Structure 1
Amino acid sequence: MKVFPQVLTAKLQERNQAGALRQLGCGTTLVDFSSNDYLGFSASRQIFEGAHNYLLKNNITHNGATGSRLISGNHGLYTITERYLAAFHNVESALIFNSGYDANVGFFSSVPQKGDIVLYDEYIHASIRDGLRLSNAAAYKFAHNDIEKLTEAIKRFREKGMEGEIYVVTESVFSMDGDSPDLIVLTDMCQKYNCLLVVDEAHALGVFGIKGEGLVQSLQVQDKVFARIVTFGKGLGCHGAAVLGSCCLKEYLVNFARSFIYTTGLPPHSLATILTSYNYLEQSHSERNTLKDIISFFKQEVKRLELKSFINSTSAIHCAIVPGNENARNISSVLQQNCFGVKAILSPTVPLGQERLRFCLHSYTTKEHITQVLELLAATLPSS
């Protein structure tokens, strides 16, 4: 067998020397401050049994979709679930993808065309960047949540007389900061300059809104958004994603989004779990209300302990900046040795000098654990 390529070995060694070599972990009994299971749905027996009973009641016994949705895999649960999602999210149509990554790659590689411009927030998710790399449109980043800089860029392109579309891309809750753009100002600006706004709602679904429908709907600006991407592996506790938009957008994606066309569909059990999780989200408010209280308490404790390294956030994600991979890793190790599952987010996942500790809050997080982990953090952080 040929030896492993030297150039690849060198890249691994370089990553290791930078203290940024990624490795797979295993199951843990640490207090959960790292998962995206904000409402605890992934461990809900009620949802598990509800999905199972739904399949039994409707005599659905297939283990797989048997093929892509355009060949043999478009089983009846797809139609039922997509109609439910469209009604829940107050939009014309929904198209389910196998994952959030697939949805973003499929959308951004196929929708923006040659001659179009994509302006994206510099902190946008890697899956969107990967989709844009496959696109024929020109893509440019703008400073994080800086609508003034974004407006200036749009004006420059408009003044050049470009005839293509301008797409503006952001997240309603950013995965590495937990903060949000001013969506009301942003949607008004996009309408004023005739731009198409695309919002990734991965970390807002289940957390914001009267029924957990996300930040866009909670602000009632959904009619000003060209497309939303919602993912089910976080607040919904299961798997998959959907692009929400017009019927024309759905038809286009079915015909041109390669990550949709050329992959086997989700099995019926996945669709039943998505549908059951949404039903539970719509009918029950207890987990969401508890999470809101936990978020408020966390922010109070950060203020009490004068932990000024935290980025301001009203979401379930709270990050303390700890520059340097080694520093962030060492403090994370101290917290984990004391049974708190806090992960260090290292460069190159985040920019150099912006390494951080990421605290994910949940409806099952206790106030006692919050106080304990933040007091330990305050005692461990180097004094300024």
Structure 2
Amino acid sequence: MKAVTGFILEKLNARLAVNALRSLKTETSLIDFCSNDYLGFSRSPELKSLFELQLEKYPEYKLGSTGSRLLSGNDKFTEDLEADIAKFHNCEASLLFNSGYDANMGIFSSLPQRDDTIICDEYIHASIIDGARLSHAARFVFKHNDMDSLEQKLKAAKGRIFIGIESVYSMDGGEAPLEEICTLAEKYNGAVIVDEAHAIGIFGDHGRGIVDELNLSSRVFARIVTFGKALGVHGAAILGSEDLRSYLINYARSFIYTTAPSFLSHLAIKTSYDYLKSKNHQQDLHQIIQNFRSKLHTVSSLTASRSGIQILLIPGNTQAREIASELQQTGFDVRAILSPTVSTGSERLRICLHNHNSFEEVEALCNSLKFHCEA
């Protein structure tokens, strides 16, 4: 046991030495420029009221699902919800997972086989990396949004080819060139799998995502949509064909060997989707994003993004953490993203904008950012 304890301390001290030791923080009274609650759904009194009204229709609901979907945890409500989600996103079928992490783990670990190849953007989410590691497929990484690099990897690929990308990248807010990627995939007979976690609710008609916005649904093999960001609840779904849904039910271990989400979770997802369809929730957010970017147009470290994620590059863990701390002392909940989460030298402030941020709050934040970051 001493050897294990020593190993733990050694690893923690290594993080501490480069000012990269993570710790948990509780909720604060700071102004939220940190969460993924882009549309403010998680705090919406209207959505809460709608959920409570829906809940009254099911007085016999269970607190837990009691088992996996393949045992006692399945019901008609869940299957109807999956059909509704598929219809909304213009695809054949969907399958619910406990989280976006579980969804990516499920598809990337079960679908590619030993003689196949997975090719991912270098900025891809950790859940896709972990899922790919669990498969027996060869794994390649292409330079971020670099089509020449992607084509080089496609030329070297063997067997069935799976291309993993995000439509909006979580650590920089930039978008993948989806049309170009689909064209290359078709040239080399590859299957494109798109994680739309940070696009759902924000882009496309009523927030259907960028794949739908660009009319690429028929050219993308599968999409992962998550509900813990703009939809303000919890869980995820994989969108694709009926055959893919059946395959995942049979082979995706993160679906098979876990207790299903509760009825309460699924009802929250349904209510959130109904609320998303009810009005144009995106308009105010995009106005806030435009306002933020116009006020910081002189700050050279601001990267390109039309999403709710806005990035200011602040190289060095110490400097990025210090500026974030100073902003928090001013009243703004802004977090630094440090290496090794991002590569050394590309540390940053990750600012998330929301419908619940007032123009006055955004203006005050921009004034503070210009003071700390303006070139």
Q: TM-score, normalised by structure 1?
A: 0.95
**How far has the Cα of 1:156 moved from its partner?**
3.4
Q: Which residue of 2 aligns with 1:28?
A: 28
Tell me, yes or no, if the aligned pair for 2:140 and 2:153 is still in contact at 8 Å. no
Q: 43-52 or 359-368, which moves further after superposition?
A: 43-52
Which whole-Å CA distance do the structure 2 matches of 1:231 and 1:22 have between them?
25
Which whole-Å CA distance do the structure 1 matches of 2:250 and 2:295 have between them?
51
Q: 1:196 aligns to what SS in structure 2?
A: strand
Tell me, yes or no, if the aligned pair for 1:51 and 1:276 is still in contact at 8 Å. yes
Which whole-Å CA distance do the structure 2 matches of 1:79 and 1:51 have between them?
19
Q: Which amino acid aligns with 1:247?
A: E
**How far has the Cα of 1:25 moved from its partner?**
0.2
1:184-223 equivalent positions in 2, closer than 5 A: 184-223=179-218
Q: 39-48 or 208-217, which moves further after superposition?
A: 39-48
Structure 2 residue 102 is the aligned partner of structure 1 residue 102: yes
Q: Which residue of 1 aligns with 2:287?
A: 293
Distance 1:334 1:100, change over 3 A: same
**How far has the Cα of 1:380 moved from its partner?**
1.8
Deviation string for 1:150-178 (max 9, x for gaps)? 11221233xxxx4x111111100000000
Structure 2 residue 242 is the aligned partner of structure 1 residue 247: yes
Deviation string for 1:8-50 (max 9, x for gaps)? 1100111111111110101111111000000000012222232
**How far has the Cα of 1:323 moved from its partner?**
0.4
Deviation string for 1:268-307 (max 9, x for gaps)? 010000000001101111x31100111111111111xx11
Q: 1:225 aligns with which of 212, 215, 220?
A: 220
Q: 1:249 aligns to what SS in structure 2?
A: helix
Q: 1:104 aligns to what SS in structure 2?
A: helix
* Ranges in structure 1 where 5+ consecutive residues have no aligned partner: none
Q: 25-34 or 187-196, which moves further after superposition?
A: 187-196
Structure 2 residue 262 is the aligned partner of structure 1 residue 270: no
Tell me, yes or no, if the aligned pair for 1:75 and 1:268 is still in contact at 8 Å. no
* Ranges in structure 2 where 5+ consecutive residues have no aligned partner: none
Which whole-Å CA distance do the structure 1 matches of 2:65 and 2:58 have between them?
16
1:329-368 equivalent positions in 2, closer than 5 A: 329-368=321-360
Q: 2:278 aligns with which of 274, 283, 288?
A: 283
Aligned-pair Cα RMSD in Å: 1.4
**How far has the Cα of 1:369 moved from its partner?**
1.8
Tell me, yes or no, if the aligned pair for 1:231 and 1:240 is still in contact at 8 Å. yes
Q: Which residue of 2 aligns with 1:85?
A: 85
Q: Which amino acid aligns with 2:110?
A: S
Q: Which amino acid aligns with 1:114?
A: R
Q: Which residue of 1 aligns with 2:305?
A: 313
Q: 2:175 aligns with which of 173, 180, 184?
A: 180
Q: 183-192 or 64-73, which moves further after superposition?
A: 183-192
Which whole-Å CA distance do the structure 2 matches of 1:254 and 1:348 have between them?
34
Q: Which residue of 1 aligns with 2:156?
A: 156
Tell me, yes or no, if the aligned pair for 2:296 and 2:370 is still in contact at 8 Å. no
**How far has the Cα of 1:330 moved from its partner?**
0.3
Which whole-Å CA distance do the structure 1 matches of 2:331 and 2:174 have between them?
27
**How far has the Cα of 1:185 moved from its partner?**
1.6
Which whole-Å CA distance do the structure 2 matches of 1:93 and 1:52 have between them?
28
Tell me, yes or no, if the aligned pair for 1:207 and 1:235 is still in contact at 8 Å. yes
Q: 56-65 or 100-109, which moves further after superposition?
A: 56-65
Q: Which amino acid aligns with 1:309?
A: S
Q: 1:308 aligns to what SS in structure 2?
A: coil
Q: 1:26 aligns to what SS in structure 2?
A: coil
Structure 2 residue 366 is the aligned partner of structure 1 residue 374: yes
Deviation string for 1:239-279 (max 9, x for gaps)? 00000001111011101111111110000010000000001
Q: 43-52 or 28-37, which moves further after superposition?
A: 43-52
Which whole-Å CA distance do the structure 2 matches of 1:155 and 1:3 have between them?
46
Which whole-Å CA distance do the structure 1 matches of 2:143 and 2:13 have between them?
32
Which whole-Å CA distance do the structure 2 matches of 1:221 and 1:67 have between them?
36
Tell me, yes or no, if the aligned pair for 1:60 and 1:268 is still in contact at 8 Å. no
**How far has the Cα of 1:149 moved from its partner?**
1.4
Which whole-Å CA distance do the structure 2 matches of 1:134 and 1:3 have between them?
27
Deviation string for 1:326-374 (max 9, x for gaps)? 0000000111110011100001111111100001000111222222212
**How far has the Cα of 1:3 moved from its partner?**
8.4
1:106-121 equivalent positions in 2, closer than 5 A: 106-121=106-121
Q: 73-82 or 248-257, which moves further after superposition?
A: 73-82
Which whole-Å CA distance do the structure 2 matches of 1:48 and 1:31 have between them?
21
Q: Which residue of 2 aligns with 1:142?
A: 142
Deviation string for 1:181-217 (max 9, x for gaps)? 1111211221122110000000000000111011100
Q: Which amino acid aligns with 2:207?
A: G
Q: Which residue of 2 aligns with 1:328?
A: 320
